[in-house]
Amino acid sequence: MENYNYKLLGNCNVTNLKNKIDKLTEQDWLEHQLRQNLFEVHKHTNTLEILWDIDSLNNNTVGKVHNNFFKLNIETFLKNIEPLYKNYYGSGYFIRVLITKLKSNLIISPHIDKGNSLKDCKRTHIPIKTHPNCIFTIGGETKHLKEGEIWEINNFQKEHSVENNSNEDRIHMILDYILY
C-alpha cells in the first residue's frame, strides 16, 4: 500500500449542494444515528446517509440508496465529479457516499478506520461547509481542507482526527470510489 497522508485530486463547485443542505432541518440530520452509535469517535457528528449501509463496509458492494440521494440531487453532483475521479484513478464507481456534520467546537478523536472494503477503495472528502479554524490531521500532518477541494485521505493506514475550533458546524461529503 502507498504511504501518504493526503492527496489533492482537484476542486468542484459545491454551491448548489451547500444551498440544499442549508435548507435541511435538524430532524433531517438526526434521522440516521447508526454511524454515531456504532463508532464512538463519531459521537459529535450527524450523518446524512446518501449511498451507505453497514454491510458495504465489509464488502465491495454499493451502499443502500437513501432518500437524501434524491432530495439533494446527488446523482447530478456525482456525474459532475466522476470525470475527475476517472482521470485521476481510472475507471470505477462510487460505492458509498455520506454527508457528515461535525458540530461546532467539537472534535473527532484520533482513530484508524476499519472495514474490509476500505482497503480496496479510495476514500475522499469534499468540504461543503467549513471554517479556517477547522483542521484535519492525518499521520501527524495537519491541514485546513477548503470548500470544494477533493482530498483523498489515507484513513485505512493512518491515524486521523478533526478539530472544529470554530462556532460553525463543519460539513463534509465522504465518498468511497472503487476501481473496476
Domains of the chain: total: 1
**Domain assignment of residue 126, yes or no:** yes
Task: Give pLDDT, residue 89.
Answer: 97
Reply yes or no on whether the pLDDT at 118 is more than 90: no
Centroid of chain to Cα 13: 16
- Segments forming the whole domain that contains residue 26: 6-179
Residue 138 is which amino acid?
I
Q: What is the mean pLDDT of residues 131-155?
A: 95
**Domain assignment of residue 165, yes or no:** yes
Residues paired with 164 in a beta bridge? 134
First to last CA, the chain: 18
Reply yes or no on whether the pLDDT at 28 is more than 70: yes
Q: What is the mean pLDDT of residues 137-155?
A: 95
| Cβ 126 vs Cβ 175: under 8 Å | yes
**Domain assignment of residue 110, yes or no:** yes
Could you tell me which residue, 151 or 54, shows the higher pLDDT? 151
- Report residue 33's pLDDT band, with 50, 70 and 90 as the boundaries: confident
Q: Cα(86)–Cα(67) distance, rounded to whole angstroms?
A: 26
Q: Which residues neighbour 153 within 8 Å (Cβ) at sequence distance 6 or greater?
A: 5, 6, 123, 124, 125, 136, 138, 160
**Domain assignment of residue 1, yes or no:** no
This prediction's pTM: 0.93
Residue 1 is which amino acid?
M
**Domain assignment of residue 75, yes or no:** yes
**Residue carrying C-alpha cell 472503487:** 178
Reply yes or no on whether the pLDDT at 1 is more than 70: no
**Domain assignment of residue 88, yes or no:** yes
**Domain assignment of residue 101, yes or no:** yes
Percentage, residues of the chain above pLDDT 90: 74
46-104 pLDDT, tens digit each: 999 999 988 888 888 999 999 999 999 999 999 999 999 999 999 999 999 999 999 99
CATH number, domain of 31, equals 2.60.120.10
Reply yes or no on whether the pLDDT at 22 is more than 70: yes
**Domain assignment of residue 104, yes or no:** yes
Task: Give pLDDT, residue 30.
Answer: 84
